[in-house]
Amino acid sequence: MTAAHCISESVTYRVVLGKHNLKTTELGSIAVEIAPGNIFVHERWNPTFATLGYDIALIKLPKPVTLSNSIRLGCIPAPNTVLPNNYPCFVTGWGRLYTNGPIADNLQQALMPVVDHATCSRPDWWGFALRKTMVCAGGDGIVAGCNGDSGGPLSCRTTDGTWEVHGIASFVSSLGCNAKKKPTVFTRVSAFNDWVTQIMANN
């Protein structure tokens, strides 16, 4: 899974699994070329009106991948799962280290608690820009996702120890990545289970 706004028809993509540092060759990492026909963007995605939602895309790998110590699966949550306020989740990515800062060489990870929809849709937070198909995390003015983290996961651990991908990084505030009361906004994966199932069944 990735964000629809990360996908362009004019670009050839390569998926790298088991990667940590972008500048070094790492034992166990796997690079896979992706054919254009194996990328599926949600049909209702509109790049002109990104805040309408549907910022989700699927990438089909050309062959199965062997799991290892550095390559693990993240599960899809049950349909319509909505996490409670302050539920602990983690954002990961190689985005900017801070607003207008450099891109990270090493994969970054940060604890970002969920902000429930009732809070995140308040006028002094994201207001009407926040859809029910989105989920917020962070907003403390210190820790946040940033430009370049788009398409990455918001990973949350369940009570039985399973990791689930509850969000796909979608956008941050123009006021800055870590603006207070402007949490990182993610596409809520559990709002798209039917779409994911349909794409997988037809392809």
Catalytic residue IDs: 5, 55, 150
Three-state DSSP class for 6? helix
Report how far residue 104's alpha carbon sits from residue 177's, in angstroms, rounded to the nearest whole number: 15
Question: What DSSP line would sit under 115-168, residue for residue?
Answer: E-HHHHTSTTTTGGG--TTEEEE--SSSS---TT-TT-EEEEE-TTS-EEEEEE
Look up tokens 């990492």; give the residue. Answer: 29
Q: Is the CA virtual torsion 2, 4, 6, 9 positive or negative? A: positive
CA-nearest of 201, 144, 169 to 57 is: 169
Residue 97 phi, psi dihedral angles, 5° rounding: -70, -25
Q: What is the DSSP letter of 94?
A: S
